Amino acid sequence: MRKFYYLLLLCTTFVFSQGNKETNAIDVTYLRGNILPHTDDLDHLITGHPEGVMVCFSRQTHGEKEWERLYGNPDYGMYFLYQDFKNPILGNNYAVGTFYNFYFLRKKLMFKIAQGIAMTTNPQDKVTNSKNSAFGSTLMANTDFVFAYKKENIIDRFGIQAGIIFTHFSNGRIKAPNSGVNTYNLNIGVNYNLDKNFKRTIDTTKIDLKFKEPIHYNFVIRSGINESPIIGSGQHTFFHVGFYADKRLNRKSALQLGTEVFFSNFYKDFIKYQSVAYPEQNLDPNTDYKRVGVFVGHELFINRISLEAQIGYYVYQPYKFDIPVYDRLGMKYYISKKVFTGLSIKTHMFLAEAMEFVIGIRI
């Protein structure tokens, strides 16, 4: 988990060092909603309507840099999230991290992307909390998406916002169990501009999206630790080695096409366990644990940070425990034009397999 803190610190340092010709704001939002029952083992944990509070400190950009104008002068900053799941088994979660606010419809509609680290007050324990199938560790990742109507400076520097928020908590199966919890909520809140005479201007300047680059080739290693679905089976290292080509479509986007090999060491013990525990499956304990996938992806560039989404298919999967389709969401930071690092979550639909720490080169 130390690497996770270092990555968050790296992103935070970057976020708050992008410029000084910016203004500041704070907003406080109340949220209440429902848990999304994406697996059967969550049914007994859904006993009420989760509620919580999100507090955000924002730096408001005003087009001093090209990337700001390219995205319509977004906000960026730090957030704190508290969520009560209304179930003593799940407990409460606390999260901190970084976010971006993007604006549409003449600055009236806001879309927030937030990513950070979270702590739960009541993780699974085989003696004191054995029924918690959602959180196998105290620390985990948190991802949030917010769609809201936002109106600033209604009364002096106070404004309001309201919309919907999706929250996700998961440890990427660093430790089992890890069903994770997803919630969808309605939210309402107030915002306050810390700078006097603030007025959000609508930039009508058109930015040329045309951008030409040759095809680039990427070599990436994604690593970390995870555990099989068997609680207490032990944590193992993994290495996901990939190679892919990317082609920039414009200043914002690139498409990816590639292949990767998965060396997930927990599968070695898990295959042996399954062969003994379920002899009716006729599973060979020496079945190859490695997998090979092909994938397509999209990368959204925001200055040195980029957001990555991929979907893949296993073309080689001797042990078919998971479905053959996998997906990945991640954030990358370009240390230079040729070297990047980042963090990503690899899942099979809503079920996380790995939290991946990334290092790669782009040539």
Q: Are residues 115 and 262 in the same domain?
A: no
Say yes or no: 167 and 31 in one domain.
Answer: yes
Residue 5 predicted with pLDDT over 60: no
**Is there a contact between 129 and 138 (Cβ–Cβ < 8 Å)?**
no
Tally of domains within the chain: 2
- For residues 165 and 290, membership in a common domain is answered with no
For residue 183, give Cα distances in angstroms to 36, 151, 167, 186, 275: 5, 25, 5, 10, 36
User: pLDDT at residue 6 above 70?
Assistant: no
Confidence of residue 205 (pLDDT cuts 50, 70, 90): low
- In terms of domains, do 239 and 312 share one? yes
Average pLDDT of span 270-281? 94
Tell me: do 121 and 187 sit in the same domain: yes
The pLDDT > 70 percentage for the chain reads: 93
Position 203 scores a pLDDT of 65
Give the CATH number for residue 339.
Answer: 2.40.160
In a domain, 70, yes or no: yes
Is residue 208 included in any domain, yes or no? Answer: no
Is 289 within a domain?
Answer: yes
- The answer to whether the beta carbons of residues 118 and 129 sit under 8 Å apart is no
Residues of the domain holding 263: 216-362
| Mean pLDDT across 264-268 | 95
Residue 143 and residue 185 share a domain: yes
pLDDT band at 42 (very low <50, low <70, confident <90, very high): confident
- pLDDT at residue 12 greater than cutoff 90: no
For residues 35 and 171, state if they share a domain.
yes
CATH of the domain at 135: 2.40.160.20
pLDDT confidence tier of residue 204, bands split at 50, 70 and 90: low
The answer to whether residue 337 sits within a structural domain is yes
Chain mean pLDDT for the chain: 91
> pLDDT confidence of 26, banded at 50, 70, 90?
very high
Same structural domain, 308 and 263: yes
Q: Which residues contact 346 (CB under 8 A, 6 or more apart)?
A: 172, 222, 240, 326, 327, 328, 352, 353, 354, 356
Are residues 152 and 7 both part of a single domain?
yes
31: amino acid identity, one letter: L
The yes-or-no verdict on residue 1 having pLDDT over 90 is no
Residue 45 has pLDDT above 50, yes or no: yes
Q: Identify the band that residue 261 occupies on the pLDDT scale cut at 50, 70 and 90.
A: very high
Pick the last residue of a domain from 193, 228, 246. Answer: 193
Residues 121 and 220 in one domain: no
Would you say residue 60 lies in a domain?
yes
In a domain, 30, yes or no: yes
Asked if 59 and 177 sit in the same domain, the reply is yes
Q: Say if 69 falls within a structural domain.
A: yes
pLDDT digits (tens, 9 = 90+) for 138-168: 999 999 999 999 999 999 999 999 999 999 9
Is the confidence at residue 120, as pLDDT, over 80?
Answer: yes
Asked if residue 312 is part of any domain, the answer here is: yes
> Is a pLDDT exceeding 90 seen at residue 112?
yes
> Is it the case that residue 281 has pLDDT exceeding 70?
yes
What tens digit of pLDDT does each residue of 289-339 get?
999 999 999 999 998 999 999 999 999 999 999 999 999 999 999 999 999
CB 358, CB 343: distance < 8 Å: yes
Per-residue pLDDT reduced to its tens digit, 206-227: 677 888 899 999 999 999 999 9
| 33 and 166 housed in the same domain | yes
